[in-house]
Copies of this chain bind each other. A is one copy, B any other.
Amino acid sequence: MSKFVTFGEIMLRLAPMGYERFVQSKEFSVVYGGGEANVAVSLSNYGKDAYFVSKVPKHEIGQCAVNELRKYGVNTDYIARGGERLGIYFCEKGASQRPSKVIYDRAHSSISEASSEDFNWDEVFKDAQWFHFTGITPALSDNCAEITLEAVKKAKEKGVMVSCDLNYRKKLWSSEKAGKVMGEIVKYCDVIIANEEDAEKVFGIKADATDIESGKLSEEGYRKVAKELFDRFGLKYAAITLRESYSASDNGWSAMIYDGKEFIRSRKYDIRIVDRVGGGDSFAGGLIYGLSSGMGSKDALEFAVAASCLKHSIEGDFNLVSKEEVETLMKGDASGRVQR
């Protein structure tokens, strides 16, 4: 099998039980995840040979993160050990009009303080087919930005397909810095995934919509965003996810893709949310699977949207669904009838 490599941070997620607020909580559920780790798990679930590259501290909590990845079949051989700590995020689940709340405690993590010596990209990309990362990784530190650049260059050099989910995080860097750093890195990318805000925040590419409430205009606007990303960076695919937040409990979810030939808009799902963290990552995982498995643009997009629709019904960061489950939904069965 050929490798599907992702590179980034894996964090410990601590969350109150059910709908408790932080201040009520005497127990936190323990989940490990992060943008690129989540994509790796998705790819492993669909049968791909997924590798996650990162750095975690040498102690037991670092090992817990590794073990969670191993459990889902992700290869962890290229995870470096060392450094100070595993990044943490506290996540309180919202409901109805009360939003979910995320508190990051990720500074000084092992990956953010990793150095080029921790990774041997030549070895990593041997027999690799795909490399994926998100905009969070270069945002972690200058070190990480530099390592990411090295990685995409090496991937390009070896003919590995490269995808990036822009994933702008305002707590990690400014739009200015993001634009500058990402502008350099994205040159080596074949696929860009963005949500309704990322392109504007990172590259200043704004959806040209006079009225954000009007779905029609909005779609037109996002077409332009996709096309501009596509053209500016010489991509093979530009994809945009479209989340409509009716409330913390209910969302609309769809996406579009531009492959240089046509703009394709996916089916839209109305979702009762169990856990929406990792929703975007599950889209990326589905899209990479689809595009790398010989599906056309439309099928890959529908696979990705169906996959990420299902993610919203699953606790934790990882999208624990099989290819067959995604295909069933993709083919139209959203009835949720008991499968005996």
In the assembled complex, which residues on chain B have CB atoms less than 8 Å from the CB atom of A277? 338
A27 interfacial contact with B, CB 8 Å: yes
B335 x A245 contact (CB < 8 A): yes
Identify which of A62-70, A119-127, A224-232 touches chain B: A62-70
Determine the residue in chain B with the shortest Cβ distance to A25: B30
In the assembled complex, which residues on chain B have CB atoms less than 8 Å from the CB atom of A247? 272, 334-336
Determine the residue in chain B with the shortest Cβ distance to A336: B248
- When each residue 160-192 of chain A gets 1 if its CB lies under 8 Å from chain B and 0 otherwise, what string results? 000000000111000000000000000000000
Q: Which of A25, A27, A92 has the most CB of B within 10 A?
A: A27
A210 interfacial contact with B, CB 8 Å: no
A274 interfacial contact with B, CB 8 Å: yes
Give the residue of B23, B99, B274, B314 whose beta carbon is less than 8 angstroms from that of A336: B99
Taking the closest CB of chain B, its distance from the CB of A324, in whole angstroms, is 12
A22 x B84 contact (CB < 8 A): no
Rounded to whole angstroms, the CA-CA distance of A246 and B334 in the bound complex is: 8
Number of copies: 6
In the assembled complex, which residues on chain B have CB atoms less than 8 Å from the CB atom of A28? 14, 27-28, 30
Give the residue of B20, B29, B98, B335 whose beta carbon is less than 8 angstroms from that of A99: B335
Rounded to whole angstroms, the CA-CA distance of A297 and B85 in the bound complex is: 40
B70 x A23 contact (CB < 8 A): no
Taking the closest CB of chain B, its distance from the CB of A9, in whole angstroms, is 15
In the assembled complex, which residues on chain B have CB atoms less than 8 Å from the CB atom of A67? 23, 71-73
The number of residues on chain A lying at the interface, defined by a beta carbon within 8 Å of a beta carbon of chain B, is: 80
In the assembled complex, which residues on chain B have CB atoms less than 8 Å from the CB atom of A80? none
A40 interfacial contact with B, CB 8 Å: no
A293 interfacial contact with B, CB 8 Å: no
Q: List 23 A-B contacts (CB under 8 A).
A: A22-B60, A22-B61, A26-B29, A27-B29, A61-B103, A61-B105, A70-B73, A85-B107, A88-B88, A88-B105, A94-B313, A94-B336, A96-B274, A96-B309, A96-B312, A97-B313, A98-B336, A99-B338, A102-B338, A104-B340, A245-B337, A246-B336, A250-B272
Give me the interface of A with B, judged by CB distance under 8 Å.
Answer: 14, 17-30, 59-61, 63-64, 67-68, 70-73, 84-86, 88, 90, 92, 94-105, 107-108, 169-171, 245-250, 269, 271-274, 276-277, 309-310, 312-316, 320-321, 325, 329, 334-340
